[in-house]
Structure 1
């Protein structure tokens, strides 16, 4: 029995844990209530704890997961997962042994993302119960630099029997079916759930994704977290990524030097910094525009989305999005 079967899901689909506040309790709970696995993404510890508690309550007896971005994870996030009764925790961009041990001691299974065999082996050595094989097609921050068709078999082999979920390029039921046939225990979808009524993404952000003709893999929005990420274009990428999608070399160098900021600054500082960002000054945090923010933030912040934009054309309720993904 794999980790998703143990949770009693009726469909092997997980809503990606989109961080920064874009995943509402209503979104995660709607996915879980419909038979998938909804996930609360990382935000500041207080907001994260409140949202996770609400999601678990709204989902009734259905399981709800949590997604933690390793550079920004604090002890308070781990405590919130235990207190709320998270059914599963996913770590992205690392495998922190002490946090994995704390969660497993609370009988919460842990998965870690991996974009190659080396990352997969490190995660299992750190105590992870399973893995998420990510492909470079995925939206958001990338631990992979190759397509899922390459990373999935490599991670499956390194997993040596441990369950492996697959993320990247999941837009419909045919994608899920293909990944299950390839050996994945389940599929993770992000952009499809970003474009739902329950998503807290700014309406202008959603419209940018729906109207985009392409995505780019860049490092422009890397202040404090210099990991490559996939976004749709906006005013700042058009200005600063025209010559090189990754962004100006000087900006990338500054972002690498700023990496310690993720451990020094509170997650709650992302919002005020985002409000101060300007198109003319290439200093951008990983923060994304949320509903209620000034419309101008859409053109000066990260608009994360995967390559599935070419096959997703509407905004629907979360339960409908899950139904379209169900084999």
Structure 2
């Protein structure tokens, strides 16, 4: 079981609701977030969201049990609603998470059941209209995801204009900002715009606790703000019609230069480029480069947000949380 270190806190409605010290939430990056990274964020006083959307019952049971063994911090589980999740929801609820986070869909049909199981409901939204509907349905926490975010991004509005609009629609419901935030200045700005905390993914990729492949992490560290692309039909094998932001690479550049050809005619279509255990990964497959993968890591979907230019080194998760909080205090001129 990890031990929390003491850092100057910035209490918000969100931190008080879930019982954590800091308004820093770990994004549920499937393939990069496993129990080690989630526990490290929890032990540093933040709030981890565990990715469970594509996991088997055995994986969910193992990862959530491992997380419980490494930290007593509260945590949420993430489920993507672009596919049926009723069975996974039951698996997750059996582990008594603090909250269930629903992404890419409407949480309303699940609110009553999740509440009856003693958990909060979180939902990612990309418009103020979605925010209003979620609040009316009884969702407890909203995540306003801006277009700058890495990975899969449903909306087309940037975080800066989206966040205050969602905060206005949310009323007393806490709102978390996601997209384009990698340090304490971003946290401070989000708080000033009405957020109750931030969700961060890209920054936590470059940590010793991350499950991401070392080559992927190296590309994240080397990247600049302009080195990402936002597309719908690039890494669409396995999850089609889902917009996403990834680092540019040779595969993506050729696809763009050739005018975004379809899945049947594009370069290397169907070709196996990597493996994870006994599983083969083809070109353009939607899958995070995991540390156990072998093959052409650079050609895989290296998810990253536009704040990637602020990620310049591999640092322990606890040190990152320390830095975020120190910079937020300085930016807000807090003692």
TM-score by length of structure 2 reads 0.83
Higher share of residues assigned strand: 2
Distance between the aligned counterparts of 2:286 and 2:60, measured in 1?
17
State whether structure 2 residue 57 is matched by structure 1 residue 57.
no
What are the equivalent positions in structure 2 for 1:164-203 lying under 5 Å apart? 164-203=175-214
Q: Which residue of 1 aligns with 2:228?
A: 215
**8 Å CA contact retained: 2:107, 2:123:** no
Which of the residues 245, 248, 257 maps onto 1:233? 248
Which of the residues 18, 30, 35 maps onto 1:25? 35
Q: Which has the larger radius of gyration?
A: 2
Q: Which residue of 2 aligns with 1:89?
A: 100
Q: Which residue of 1 aligns with 2:88?
A: 77
SS in 2 for 1:275: strand
Distance between the aligned counterparts of 2:140 and 2:83, measured in 1?
21
**8 Å CA contact retained: 2:276, 2:293:** no
Q: Deviations over 1:207-235 (max 9, x none)?
A: 11112231110121123342111110123
Instruction: Give the superposition deviation at 1:16.
Output: 0.6
**8 Å CA contact retained: 2:221, 2:311:** yes
Instruction: Give the superposition deviation at 1:243.
Output: 5.5
**8 Å CA contact retained: 2:107, 2:139:** no
Q: Deviations over 1:263-320 (max 9, x none)?
A: xxxxxxx979972413xxxxx3321210111131x23321100111111101111111
Distance between the aligned counterparts of 1:157 and 1:324, measured in 2?
29
Number of aligned positions between the proteins:
300
What are the equivalent positions in structure 2 for 1:146-161 lying under 5 Å apart? 146-161=157-172
Instruction: Give the superposition deviation at 1:170.
Output: 1.1
Distance between the aligned counterparts of 1:38 and 1:306, measured in 2?
18
TM-score by length of structure 1 reads 0.85
Distance between the aligned counterparts of 1:100 and 1:239, measured in 2?
44
Decide whether aligned partners of structure 1 residues 121 and 251 sit closer, same or farther in structure 2, where only a CA change above 3 A counts: farther
**8 Å CA contact retained: 1:56, 1:86:** no
Higher share of residues assigned helix: 1
SS in 2 for 1:289: coil
**8 Å CA contact retained: 2:167, 2:194:** yes
| Unaligned 5+ runs, structure 2 | 1-11, 267-274, 329-335
Q: Which residue of 1 aligns with 2:291?
A: 291
Q: Which residue of 2 aligns with 1:258?
A: none
Distance between the aligned counterparts of 2:84 and 2:286, measured in 1?
15
Instruction: Give the superposition deviation at 1:80.
Output: 2.6
> Mean Cα displacement is larger for which, 184-193 or 48-57?
48-57
Q: Which residue of 1 aligns with 2:318?
A: 319
Distance between the aligned counterparts of 2:243 and 2:277, measured in 1?
23
Q: Deviations over 1:82-140 (max 9, x none)?
A: 22121122111112433333211112111111111122233234432121111111111
SS in 2 for 1:154: helix
**8 Å CA contact retained: 1:137, 1:148:** yes
